[in-house]
């Protein structure tokens, strides 16, 4: 089945130690998104790629960066994780269009020690 895959499902890192979260998709969608979801809160969009065009949300901290080397893969890099960055990170994909369905992966839960 076509899907959005996130690895690992759980990631533990140390305060200030860079960490990379991975997302891959077999849907061949042009658009890929990264959301952050803190405990008991709704998901919040960090940024998205339209093909190779990167679109950052205005309030996304500089500590968060992303790479999309090809259509299938997208990475979330947290340069210096703080305790406040502990959250579920969700990757999603969609076709191009304003009303297109977004397909989410299962998420990676990040713990910062």
Partner 1 sequence: DAKTTQPNSMESNEEEPVHLPCNHSTISGTDYIHWYRQLPSQGPEYVIHGLTSNVNNRMASLAIAEDRKSSTLILHRATLRDAAVYYCILKASGGGNKLTFGTGTQLKVEL
Instruction: Please give the residue ranges that form the binding site for partner 1 (CB under 8 A).
Output: 4, 31, 33, 42-45, 48, 55, 90-92, 94, 96-107
Q: Reduced to 3 DSSP states, what percent helix, strand and coil does the chain have, rounded to the nearest 5? A: 5, 50, 45
Dihedral sign of CA atoms 109, 22, 113, 56 in order: negative
Residue number with CB closer to partner 1 (65 or 93):
93
Residue number with CB closer to partner 1 (91 or 112):
91
Q: How far is the CB of 16 from partner 1 (least distance, A)?
A: 28
Helices (H), 8-102: none
Non-local (6+) Cβ contacts of 84 within 8 A are none
Q: How far is the CB of 80 from partner 1 (least distance, A)?
A: 26
Residue number with CB closer to partner 1 (80 or 101):
101
């Amino acid at each position: 089945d076509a899907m959005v895959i996130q690895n690992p499902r759980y990631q533990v890192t140390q305060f200030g130690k860079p960490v990379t979260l991975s997302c891959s998709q077999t849907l061949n969608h042009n658009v890929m998104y990264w959301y952050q979801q803190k405990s008991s809160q709704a998901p919040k969009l960090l940024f998205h790629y339209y093909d190779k065009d990167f679109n950052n949300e205005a309030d996304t901290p500089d500590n968060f960066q992303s790479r999309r080397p090809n259509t299938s893969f997208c990475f979330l890099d947290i340069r210096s994780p703080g305790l406040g960055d502990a959250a579920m990170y969700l990757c999603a994909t969609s076709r191009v269009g304003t009303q297109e369905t977004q397909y989410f992966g299962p998420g990676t839960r990040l713990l910062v020690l």
